[in-house]
């Protein structure tokens, strides 16, 4: 375990979430101490779920505008993703069930946690809890689309599993959490490919 001494912890912004600048001393393997600085963005932890239907061999994804992708060359800013949200004060399971209904319109009762991951550990504190869940047409209770007061404008998409995998290759799906869950389904033979 590395030895760390925090020298200064300064809040740079707490406008939306919290951006902190940390100055710390880090003990190297040779025993020397080295002073370092890092900025860390704390937006809380989150959960993500990939809905799949074995009979249809399909998945439910959403499409929405993401400003950071627009700033980094995604010409229209639209991103295709698995349903996700921040935990706030909920457990990961409670959070993802709530987000699924709000964003996709599907009311799911059972989710299976498959793993957890730090998505951008060089600068963001968030840990993401990954789930899969089966859906059926009878679980659809609304049109979804997210909350107007949260300025969400979400398109719900039912996509054949093979097509979703192809969309990774063609660059239509570039979201890491979505790619990880699609590949999890493929690797664990939960969804099937024609090849």
Average pLDDT over residues 75-89: 95
Over 80: is that where the pLDDT of 151 sits?
Answer: no
16-19: Cβ within 8 A, 24+ apart: 16/43, 17/41, 17/42, 17/43, 17/44, 18/42, 18/43
Q: What are the sequence ranges of the domains in the chain?
A: 4-42, 46-187
The predicted pLDDT at position 145 comes to 73
Over 80: is that where the pLDDT of 134 sits?
Answer: yes
The predicted pLDDT at position 189 comes to 80
Find out if CATH 3.40.50.620 is the number for domain 46-187: no
Mean predicted lDDT score pLDDT of the chain: 93
Q: What is the tens place of the pLDDT at every residue in 156-189?
A: 999 999 999 999 999 999 999 999 999 999 998 8
Q: What is the pTM of this model?
A: 0.91
Q: What is the tens place of the pLDDT at every residue in 27-67?
A: 999 999 999 999 999 999 999 999 999 999 999 999 999 99
> Phi, psi (5° rounding) for residue 115?
-175, 180
Q: Which residue has the higher pLDDT, 176 or 145?
A: 176
The predicted pLDDT at position 30 comes to 92
The predicted pLDDT at position 173 comes to 97
């Amino acid at each position: 375990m590395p030895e760390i001494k925090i020298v200064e912890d300064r809040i740079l912004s707490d406008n939306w979430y919290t951006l902190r600048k940390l100055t710390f001393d880090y003990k190297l393997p040779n025993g020397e101490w080295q002073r370092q600085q890092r900025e860390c963005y704390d937006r809380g932890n989150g959960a993500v779920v990939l809905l799949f239907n074995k009979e249809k061999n399909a998945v439910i994804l959403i499409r929405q505008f993401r400003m950071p992708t627009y700033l980094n060359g995604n010409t229209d800013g639209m991103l295709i993703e698995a349903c996700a949200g921040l935990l706030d004060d909920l457990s990961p399971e409670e959070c993802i069930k709530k987000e699924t209904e709000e964003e996709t319109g599907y009311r799911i009762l059972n989710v299976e946690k498959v793993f957890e991951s730090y998505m951008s550990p060089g600068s963001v504190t968030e840990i993401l809890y990954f789930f899969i869940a089966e859906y059926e047409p009878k679980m659809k209770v609304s049109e979804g689309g997210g909350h107007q007061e949260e300025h969400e404008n979400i398109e719900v998409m039912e996509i054949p599993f093979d097509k979703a995998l192809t969309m990774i290759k063609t660059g239509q799906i570039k979201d890491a959490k979505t790619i990880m869950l699609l590949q999890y389904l493929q690797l664990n033979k939960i969804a099937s490919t024609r090849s």
